[in-house]
């Protein structure tokens, strides 16, 4: 992003700060303060690419968050949405894929500072050790987490989530067997291999075209308590809590701060994800749900 563009975003945010703060105070008083769920992929200083953020910038972002927001876990995200009880703007941190370098700095930092995180992992890559196809295609295969590294996170502020078996685009899956293998069966195998619960699922790529109704229903059938998209949207109290909307942990601080400072214009830009779930379990009603 050009320096001019960054300056324009920063200027707009600064000028609108009094209005934004007034909006947040009013929403907070009603229990409707927005909840931002961030997603990252890889925190490292070597072999940077479009889905890598440097360690010092990640730490700067986390410290900025800690000073201004409630940092909460995924269950608390859903509780605030369902009960319309969000009295202060909040943030939850997530990661996708399962890059080994995250165990060097990012995850220890979050654990040390008691910042809850959901860490979504593509199971098959952790079993085989094979790099992700998108890294291979980019000519830069990168190491992935092992099952032992994931097991070592048990009991910390990092919760393991599921990210399909092969990091597939679920929008390209066709048959019921495809969805069963990538989501339902793969999740069962990963739970058994790690001997820990997997409560949340994140769709690879995370745009509306990557999130078919059959995939959402497969995640529901697999016993997940919620699924995550990744197209950039706030979570607002009173919305569907089975669908967790996420915002990119942007490497440009101007965009990062603009999103988290609550840019109400973004509310009019989000797409809808419509789906229906079969008979209710303990956390959702039987109805058509609108993302």
DSSP state of 51: T
Which tokens belong to 159? 């919760």
Which residue do the tokens 């008691």 mark? 114
Q: What's the domain count of the chain?
A: 1
Q: What is the pLDDT of residue 5?
A: 66
Q: What residues make up the domain containing 191?
A: 3-290
d(CA 82, CA 139): 44
Residue 1 has a pLDDT of 58
Short-list 57, 113, 67, 107, CA closest to 89? 67
Pairing of strands 70-71, 117-121: unpaired
Say how many CA atoms lie within 13 Å of 87 toward its Cβ: 0
- CB–CB of 215/179 below 8 Å? yes
Each residue's pLDDT, cut to its tens digit, for the chain (291 residues) gives: 566 666 666 666 677 778 888 899 999 999 999 999 999 999 999 999 989 999 999 999 999 999 999 999 999 999 999 999 999 999 999 999 999 999 999 999 999 999 999 999 999 999 999 999 989 999 999 999 999 999 999 999 999 999 999 999 999 999 999 999 999 999 999 999 999 999 999 999 999 999 999 999 999 999 999 999 999 999 999 999 999 999 999 899 999 999 999 988 888 888 889 898 876 544 444 333 444
pLDDT of residue 10: 64
Residue 46 sits in a domain of what CATH number? Answer: 3.20.20.370
Alpha-carbon distance of 232 to 121, in angstroms, equals 20
Q: 36-63: buried (b, 16+ CB within 10 Å) or exposed (e) per residue? A: bbbbbbbbbeeeeeebbbeeebbeebbe
Give the whole-angstrom CA distance, residue 167 versus residue 120: 11
pLDDT of residue 262: 92
- Interior angle at CA 164, CA 195 and CA 283, nearest 5: 70
- Identify the pLDDT of residue 279: 62
DSSP secondary structure letters along 107-143: HHHHHHTT--EEEEE-HHHHHH-PPPHHHHHTT----
Rounded to 10 degrees, the C-alpha dihedral 290/247/29/272 comes to -20
Q: What are the b/e assignments for 87-100, b being 16+ CB within 10 Å?
A: eebbbbbbbbbbbb
């Amino acid at each position: 992003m050009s320096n001019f563009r960054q300056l324009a975003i920063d200027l707009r945010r600064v000028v609108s700060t009094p209005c934004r703060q007034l909006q947040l105070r009013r929403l907070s008083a009603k229990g409707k303060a927005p909840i931002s769920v961030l997603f990252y992929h890889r925190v490292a200083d070597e072999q940077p690419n479009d889905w890598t953020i440097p360690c010092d910038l990640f730490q700067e972002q986390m410290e900025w968050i800690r000073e201004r927001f409630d940092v909460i876990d995924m269950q608390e995200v859903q509780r605030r949405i369902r009960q319309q009880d969000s009295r202060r703007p909040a943030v939850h941190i997530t990661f996708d894929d399962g890059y080994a370098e995250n165990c060097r700095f990012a995850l220890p930092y979050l654990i040390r500072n008691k910042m809850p995180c959901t860490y979504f992992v593509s199971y098959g890559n952790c079993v085989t050790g094979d790099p992700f196809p998108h890294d291979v295609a980019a000519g830069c295969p990168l190491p992935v987490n092992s099952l032992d590294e994931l097991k070592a996170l048990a009991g910390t502020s990092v919760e393991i989530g599921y990210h399909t078996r092969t990091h597939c685009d679920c929008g390209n899956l066709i048959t019921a067997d495809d969805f069963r293998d990538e989501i339902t069966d793969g999740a069962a195998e990963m739970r058994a291999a790690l001997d820990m619960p997997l409560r949340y699922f994140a769709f690879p790529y995370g745009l509306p075209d990557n999130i078919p109704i059959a995939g959402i229903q497969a995640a529901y059938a697999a016993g997940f308590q919620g699924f995550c998209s990744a197209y950039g949207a706030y979570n607002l109290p009173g919305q569907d809590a089975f669908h967790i909307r996420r915002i990119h942990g942007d490497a440009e601080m101007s965009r990062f701060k603009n999103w988290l400072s609550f840019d109400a214009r973004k509310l009019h830009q989000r797409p809808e994800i419509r789906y229906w779930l079969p008979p209710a379990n303990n956390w959702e009603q039987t109805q058509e749900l609108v993302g």
